[in-house]
Amino acid sequence: MFWFKKKPKVEEEKNPRLASVLDRHLSKYIRVVNINNSVKTAMILFGLTFFMFNILIGSMDVKKTDHIASIGFTGTISTENPMANARSFSEVFFKAIEDTSAKAIVIIANSGGGSPTQAEAINQMVSEYTALPLAERKPVYVTVQEVCASACVLAFASADKIMAHHNSLVGSISVRMDGWAIDKFLKNLDIERKVITTGKYKALFDPYRNLDESEADFIRTEVMGPMHKHFVDTVIAGRGDKLDLSNEMLFTGMIWTGQDGVSVGLVDQIQSTYYVEEELKEMFSVSEVKRYNRPPRFNLKGMFGASIENAIRSILTEDIQITM
């Protein structure tokens, strides 16, 4: 960067008028160049100062405010839902675990269920952590909003304490399979679909054909049966003696309101989310509940993009889903 100085006039000029015009314009140009260089210099100095300030701040031990870590868990449990899948949950859950200023973890659950695989992964994270002695970890609480059913129950069965509202819905410990049989529709259109397989059960889940009773029994026994047993065993392991195992409706897919959920042992206490947070703040002598995740902002383009993507995926794949 250079600063220019106005060149002194020569004593004798051959063309005084031309020299005067050139001198005036050259002076303006030099002034603009000097201003431009000054602005650039100021920006560079500001950037260096800001950079050094950040390094200084980063090297300092900043005292964080003690708080209750709040994790939102909302919607259908699936890989596509950023507020209810194993990967997203693990990021915020372990962040809360590692944050020394977080004194307890409260999960705000509002899900009717979904993927048994995602719920299993979440349950493993929570159960392995709560299996540690309480003196070596933070307590994990769940507060249920409108609903925590099926896979949601599986995911958080190992929490230290589960609270719900009177009108919350909990339960639905069962497995279901959904799909479409459009064989009659194709027959009405006089369309015959030909499928050749090398295995007896390879086309068992083909949505273009209907299942006979023996095939439905096979799926119910050999596929859904083991999943249901794992579901039941996981809930029993997580809730332990709190469950009323004498209740014949417990593992039938029945769903209960909050108070009845307490009676069968799926819920520990009736308490609204607001008062749960207030009690935890008082219990751990903190003044703040810090939210560790939030729903993504509304994006019209993203909404339509996701809708089209899901529609295409449904068309191109066999639309049979196993959910809890």
Q: What is the pTM of this model?
A: 0.71
Domain ranges of the chain: 1-47, 67-323
Kindly report, residue by residue over 81-134, the tens digit of the pLDDT.
999 999 999 999 999 999 999 999 999 999 999 999 999 999 999 999 999 999
| Cα–Cα distance, 37 to 269 (Å, whole number) | 69
Q: Is 70 within 8 Å of 289 (Cβ atoms)?
A: yes
pLDDT of residue 22: 60
pLDDT < 70 stretches in the chain: 1-29, 32-33, 53-63, 179, 181, 183, 297-322, 324
Residue 93: in which H helix or E strand, if any? Answer: helix 86-98
The pLDDT, as a whole number, for residue 18 is 61
Dump the DSSP string for 219-273: IIIIIIHHHHHHHHHHHHHHHGGGS-TT-TTTTTT-EEEHHHHHHHTS-SEE--H
Looking at residue 26, what is its pLDDT? 65
Domain 67-323 has CATH 3.90.226.10: yes
